Amino acid sequence: MEISVLTIDGPSGAGKGTVSRLIAQQLEWHYLDSGAIYRALALELTEKDVLHDSITEIVEVALAMDLVFESGEEQLVILNGQDITDLLVLESTGNAASKIATIPEVRAALLQKQRDFKQAAGLVADGRDMGTVVFPEAQYKVFLTASALTRAERRYKQLKLKGIDANLLKITTDIQERDQRDSERQFSPLIPAPDAVYIDSSNLSIQAVVEEVLSLVR
Ligand code: C5P
């Protein structure tokens, strides 16, 4: 039997991570946080002092990355034996990730790592190109978005909760810059799959979004 896949794509701060995790828990499916893979690679490149224009070297690092997601109350991300969970959430990591994510060779190198998450009983895949490129065959596809201001405010609260210093204006500018880069890039840009259900979460609670997405699957 074909393994079920639910893809949730959209810009940063739309609530994809929280919603995807809750749905994966409820359905008892696996969860792929594809953004974390791009973020982990960005960190590894900084750690190894690899420049963003050394494409061959970046691809080598991408293919060699030993990345483990440990699910528990909070997801832990272990890169080559080191817990990088706290570094992953930094805005600087997201920005660096979005820069290397424009390189087609990098995207190709990370494709199989992402597809390996498709395992029984099913997968909730969260990202930018899950429904268009990585899992075009997915049975259920959602494009989850929210206004830029709502997304910036959510990100601000998330960072504050984690005790990380944050500035709302700076976050809003960063989000707009990142949206533009993600949407305008030539390869795998952030666009809804033609068969995706579009949900604007600006005025919806997390629970309401979860219910709406679950109703598509059930
Ligand atoms: O989702 P998250 O904010 O963690 O993603 C960080 C960056 O990684 C995004 O801004 C985007 O440029 C890139 N990304 C991507 N394709 C994905 C997931 C993330 O290009 N499927």
Per-residue model confidence as pLDDT tens digits over 167-205? 999 999 999 998 999 999 999 999 999 999 999 999 999
In contact, 98 and 182? CB cutoff 8 Å: yes
Predicted TM-score (pTM) of the model is 0.94
Mutate to test the pocket of ligand 1, among 128, 134, 154 (most ligand atoms within 8 A of CB): 128
Q: How far is CA 116 from CA 8, 72, 112, in A?
A: 17, 20, 6
Percent of the residues in the chain that have a pLDDT greater than 70, as a whole number: 100
Domain 4-217 listed as CATH 3.40.50.300: yes
Q: Which residues have any ligand 1 atom within 6 Å of their CB?
A: 12, 34-35, 38-39, 94, 97-98, 101, 127-129, 178, 182
Q: How do the domains of the chain map onto residue ranges?
A: 4-217
For the chain, percent helix, then strand, then coil, each to nearest 5? Answer: 50, 15, 35
Q: In the predicted model, what is the mean pLDDT of the chain? A: 95
pLDDT above 90 for 72: no
